[in-house]
Amino acid sequence: PAAPKVKIGHLAEYRDKRVRVFGWVHRLRQQAQMTFITLRDGTGYLQLVLSGDLHKTLDALDLVTECTIEVTGELKAVPEGKTAPGGHELAADWWKMIGRAPSGTDSYASLFNEHADPSVRQRLRHLDLRAETPAAIMRVRAALLNAFRRFYANETVLEVTPPCIVQTSVEGGSTLFKFDYYGSEAYLTQSSQLFLETCLPSLGDVFCVQESFRAENSHTRRHLAEYTHVEAELAFITFDDLLTHIESMICDSVEYVLADPVAGKLVRELNPNFVAPARPFLRMDYKKAIEWLNEHDILFQDDDPAQPPRPHKLGDDIAEAAERKMTDILNVPMFITGFPREMKAFYMKRVPEDEHYTESCDLLMPGVGEIVGGSMRMTDLKQLLEGYKEHGIDPSPYYWYNDQRTYGTMEHGGYGLGTERILAWLLNRYTVREVSLYPRYPGHAQP
Ligand code: 4AD
Ligand code: MG
């Protein structure tokens, strides 16, 4: 009888049975009497053993890494004292070439390996993805996105899909990608927040997993031109509720990933020192944070490099470098809350006791810095109109956003989380580029 076709990830139930598998030759080791192949099909790795006639014909057939093959054989537990992925190996009795791969100087191994120069790996990202570490990262990424969705389902937060093509800015005009849209100007979205807010009276609490775009000319470890933005908006909450919700979102999602047998194992392999974050997160007011930076001699560096570094003063932005030094010292997740109005976007609710500051928060993680930005939103139309004015924004394209205040306003707030940033933290990666499938950053949109 024909052997059943099985994915490598599902082989555990087929011990001592004949199966048929398909995949790519990941590794190839030829010995005098036998050939060992590690086969890869995306669901796992499987050791194949070819002996006898099968072994003898291989050379002539040009079997090299990255060839696609079909194999049948009996699945056996690996002999005592040896290891193989899944604890089993396939004793092949038949195989067939499906897709050849180049050998010699064009072979995968000569073109490329995980230790190749970063610029080579960038250009060959499509091949890089076949290597073990990038594939493991993508697998954890998928598990994390699932975990977010599970968290939101538990909290009765509904998923929506806002548009990417928009005609309003959220986080300031300087980072907008503009394009011609049937003769008028449109942008690639920077954030879906404003659209999420309009959903509250219709759908209740909502979230989205949507690409956001930032035309920032920042060549840093944590900036992309396109990133996967997880945003949520919650009605009838206080600022304190918002912080607690963000804390739960991070802690529960990380817990789900760690509890997943495949993804949890990969996290521990990729980041052996990972410790799940403890609740509650440290909370530090912006004013206190400025004092803290000065107490620790962490200086402010102006965008203009001609300006010498100086101590921080109230109203200063806490830049990436300062943030990083701060989280390196404290080494725990922390919220900075209550940023000054002029530093933040037009829509942020002001602190009732001191209107110069906002009910806003950034969540900083060790090694990465900011991974979440959030705030309570203005509820009052008059104040919102002043907000546009203060930020030099023409309010007319925002008529729909304003209507949210006209037709039944309420206290509400939300946040945006950068998927690549939380992954860089979770997997201890040097840059967010490593956790993006095909990263986009200044000058790069290929492959
Ligand atoms: O702090 P940001 O700009 O906040 C907003 O867009 C709000 N409208 C979100 C909201 O309240 N719904 O961006 C939110 C997060 C940041 O904390 C960061 O993690 C990520 O998005 N982010 C980036 N990630 C990668 N590359 C970039 N260029 C990013 N810009 C922001
Ligand atoms: Mg921010």
User: For residue 60, what pLDDT is reported?
Assistant: 61
CATH code for the domain defined by 127-435:
3.30.930.10
Is the CB of 221 within 6 Å of ligand 1?
A: no
Q: How far is the CA of 50 from the centre of ligand 2 (A)?
A: 55
pLDDT tens for residues 266-321? 999 999 999 999 999 999 999 999 999 999 999 999 888 899 999 999 999 999 99
Which residues fall inside 5 Å of ion ligand 2, going by CB? 373
Architecture, CATH, for domain 8-109: Beta Barrel (2.40)
Is the CB of 223 within 6 Å of ligand 1?
A: yes
Q: What's the average model confidence in pLDDT over 59-72?
A: 88
User: For residue 65, what pLDDT is reported?
Assistant: 94
Domain extent listing, the chain: 8-109, 127-435
User: For residue 383, what pLDDT is reported?
Assistant: 95
Is the CB of 414 within 6 Å of ligand 1?
A: yes
- pLDDT confidence bin for 57, thresholds 50/70/90: confident
Nearest ligand to the C-alpha atom of residue 227: 1
Average pLDDT value over all residues in the chain: 94
> Over 70: is that where the pLDDT of 37 sits?
yes
Percent of the chain clearing pLDDT 70 (strictly above): 99
Residue nearest atom 9 of ligand 1, based on CA coordinates: 416
Q: Judge if ipTM > 0.95.
A: yes
Q: Are 364 and 334 a contacting pair, CB within 8 Å?
A: yes
> Over 80: is that where the pLDDT of 114 sits?
no
Q: What's the average model confidence in pLDDT over 374-387?
A: 97
For the record, the structure tokens of 203 come out as: 């759908």
Residue nearest atom 22 of ligand 1, based on CA coordinates: 418
Nearest ligand to the C-alpha atom of residue 369: 1
Is the CB of 193 within 6 Å of ligand 1?
A: yes
- pLDDT confidence bin for 78, thresholds 50/70/90: very high
Residue nearest atom 18 of ligand 1, based on CA coordinates: 418
User: For residue 113, what pLDDT is reported?
Assistant: 75
User: For residue 379, what pLDDT is reported?
Assistant: 97
pLDDT tens for residues 171-198? 988 899 999 999 999 999 999 999 999 9
User: For residue 155, what pLDDT is reported?
Assistant: 98
Q: How far is the CA of 149 from the centre of ligand 2 (A)?
A: 22
Residue nearest atom 3 of ligand 1, based on CA coordinates: 171
Q: How far is the CA of 128 from the centre of ligand 2 (A)?
A: 31
Ligand 1 atom with least separation from CA of 223: 26
Is the CB of 229 within 6 Å of ligand 1?
A: yes
Write the single-letter amino acid at 309: P
User: For residue 59, what pLDDT is reported?
Assistant: 66
Is the CB of 439 within 6 Å of ligand 1?
A: no
User: For residue 110, what pLDDT is reported?
Assistant: 84
Q: What's the average model confidence in pLDDT over 407-431?
A: 97
Ligand 1 atom with least separation from CA of 170: 8
User: For residue 105, what pLDDT is reported?
Assistant: 85
User: For residue 1, what pLDDT is reported?
Assistant: 60
Write the single-letter amino acid at 196: L
pLDDT tens for residues 270-279? 999 999 999 9
Q: Are 200 and 237 a contacting pair, CB within 8 Å?
A: no
